[in-house]
Structure 1
Amino acid sequence: MTKETNNMVNEEMEEKQNLQEENTTAEGAVETEENQPEVEVNPLEEKLQEIKLLKEQLEAADNRYLRLQADFDNFRRRTRLEQEASEKYRAQKLATDLLPALDNFERAMQMEAENEQTKSLLQGMEMVYRSLVDALKKEGVEPIEAVGKEFDPHQHHAVMQGEDSNFGSNVVIDEFQKGYLLKDRVIRPSMVKVNL
């Protein structure tokens, strides 16, 4: 009996040991599985994600490029328009400075000539006046027509009102100082009297 009992005890111990080894192996396997991610990453999916990212970066770079190109085109257009305006109105400063001289010539030419010497002086002044007016015309400076025209606040500066039955309402009846245009820009409005 002792031998049989010993064998049985040995067998039981071996079974317990085998069970413990299996449990240890199973626990180790579980621990290893816990340390590693359950989902394996497919190399094809990685490449597709990388391609998608590169496409987004390329699209963003294209958008930046197109915006820069549009900004540059706008800058070029603005610069061209500024140069054209500068060229178109280059004579404005000179014309503005010469207008008081023209006014003085016009007032001087309204004098009555009492003798031949005064007449020849007035003729010389008129020639100088005409050459100034012609030079300004070549640059695009023209007088604004006022008397008999309807009052335009963009071209006329009303300093008085009056009543004249020969003119309609809101019509310029007298001009105190000539106004001038440089091409399409008013460089000095006319000082006028307007009919009520």
Structure 2
Amino acid sequence: MSNKDDIQEQVADGAETEQFDAATSDEKGSFDQRVEELTQELDKALEEVESHKDTAIRAKAECENIRRRAEREVSNASKFALEKFAKEILAVVDSLEKALEHPVEGEAQTAMHEGLQLTYKLLIDTLNKFSIEQISPLGESFDPGLHEAMVMQESEEHEPNSVMHVIQQGYALNGRLIRPARVIVAKGKAPKIDEKA
């Protein structure tokens, strides 16, 4: 081969190399562009996944709250279903208590009084079976959440702000107040003012 042929061959090889390099450069640019597009799509997909994950967590929490609320409402409905009945039956209890306060005279009244006592005890025991408890605060400190002060009286025998007399018993159903105890509350004697001062 002559130099001329060698040169032509080298020129041809150089042209092919340039074409190859140009093609490789185009492919590399296209590849880089495609990688950039895929990276953007991946980022967008990850954002959507995070958004859906957040929505799913919130939905699950809301479902759990609804379930707990429903359980609490069902529990309260069963625990306090007797509330209206209990309020009505308390009038009977009050009547029996008033009847038992009357003085007993004679044998016939004694027998009747004993019958009333047994009926009253039976009724109170029945109320207790259904979680209706009597609130009898005699001698305790006055609690406006459980007691209704009808009168405040001065008393040397009782501590100030204590219940000195129960006018009407209070009642609670499963710990929930259905009627406050009506009471007379002791207040301390007013200090005497020394007129000489």
Matches within 5 A, 1:45-64: 45-64=36-55
Residue 98 (structure 2) pairs with residue 107 (structure 1) = yes
Q: Give the deviation of 1:103 after TM superposition.
A: 0.3
Q: What corresponds to 2:190 in structure 1?
A: none
Q: Which residue of 2 aligns with 1:178?
A: 169
| Letter in structure 2 aligned against 1:180 | Y
Alignment TM-score, normalising by the size of structure 1: 0.73
Deviation sequence 1:135-183 (CA, Å, 0-9, x none):
1101112221222111111111111111221111111111111111223
How many angstroms apart in 1 are the aligned matches of 2:121 and 2:77? 27
Unaligned runs of 5+ in 1: 1-38
Instruction: Pick one of 70, 75, 78 that aligns with 1:79.
Output: 70
Unaligned residue ranges in structure 2 (runs of 5+): 1-28, 188-197
Q: Which residue of 2 aligns with 1:152?
A: 143
Q: Say if 2:136 and 2:166, in contact at 8 Å, map to a contact too.
A: no
Work out whether 1:91 is the aligned partner of 2:82. Answer: yes
Q: Root-mean-square deviation (CA), in Å?
A: 1.9
Task: Quote how far apart the aligned CAs of 1:92 are.
Answer: 1.9
CA distance in 2, matches of 1:154, 1:165: 25
Percent identical across equivalent pairs?
31
Whole-angstrom CA distance in 2 between matches of 1:94 and 1:150: 30
Q: Which residue of 2 aligns with 1:132?
A: 123
**TM-score, normalization: structure 2?**
0.73
